[in-house]
Chains A and B, each alone.
Chain A
Amino acid sequence: MLPTLESIAGFITGAGIVLLLAFIYFKKGNKQRKFDERYEQVNAKAIKFSWISTLIVLLFMWLGVLIYEGAKLAFLLSVSAYGVLLITFGVAHFVYNRRL
């Protein structure tokens, strides 16, 4: 099934609205010095929680998809997402270890 012109238009409109809202939010937040070091710490901890949740979910997801559907698109995508998560972490760890 190919996407229709309407669905692409909807997608672009949605993305545009989100970008606009994000822009306003960051501009306003910057003015109020929202993104200070406490914010960074809070965000880092939130990301840690989210990263671990995503990793666990992905692990079960690609196993589940492999059993349910075999090695098709859904499996390849979830396995590559799993790989992306782990490999980027490894590379970033290596780079920061040299820099810090």
Chain B
Amino acid sequence: MYEGFDIWSFLVGLPLGLTIWAVMYYFVWKKGKKERIFDERYQNIHRHARSISWKVMTGALLIAWIIVMIVEGPRLAFFIITALWIIHMISWGIGAFIVNEKY
């Protein structure tokens, strides 16, 4: 399996990826702005999509957690998933608290 990490290849790939992504993003955004794509219906769809994605992630994390516990025990992968779970939940709690205060 892949063991080494070639930092130089990574440093070449990174700016390339970022540039391509930024250029594509800019053109989509410019065209969208012209056609008023980012209106309230778009935001609604976005919100729904994010909500589904977040819920699937919550389920996936739980399943991954159990698998890691059985396969590898308390090593790096387990702590990473635990940390991720905590961030996932705490950020949700903080978000809910802030928005609840504002509305």
Touch test A–B (CB under 8 Å): yes
C-beta contact mask, B46-61 vs A, less than 8 Å → 1, else 0? 1111111110110011
Interface size on A, residues (CB 8 A): 47
Chain B residues 50-79 with CB under 8 Å of chain A are 50-54, 56-57, 60-61, 64, 66, 68-77
B24 to chain A, nearest CB (A): 15
Tell me how many residue pairs across A and B have CB atoms closer than 8 Å: 143
- Chain B residue numbers with a CB within 8 Å of A53 are 87-88, 91
Give chain A's interface residues, CB within 8 Å of chain B: 1-3, 7, 11, 38, 41-51, 53-54, 57-58, 61, 65-74, 77-78, 80-81, 84-86, 88-90, 92-93, 96-97, 100
30 example contacts (A-B, Cβ-Cβ < 8 A) are as follows A1-B73, A11-B66, A11-B69, A41-B103, A42-B100, A43-B96, A45-B95, A46-B96, A46-B98, A47-B54, A48-B50, A48-B95, A49-B98, A50-B89, A50-B95, A51-B57, A53-B88, A61-B83, A66-B5, A69-B76, A71-B2, A73-B77, A77-B64, A77-B81, A84-B60, A86-B53, A88-B52, A88-B57, A93-B46, A96-B48
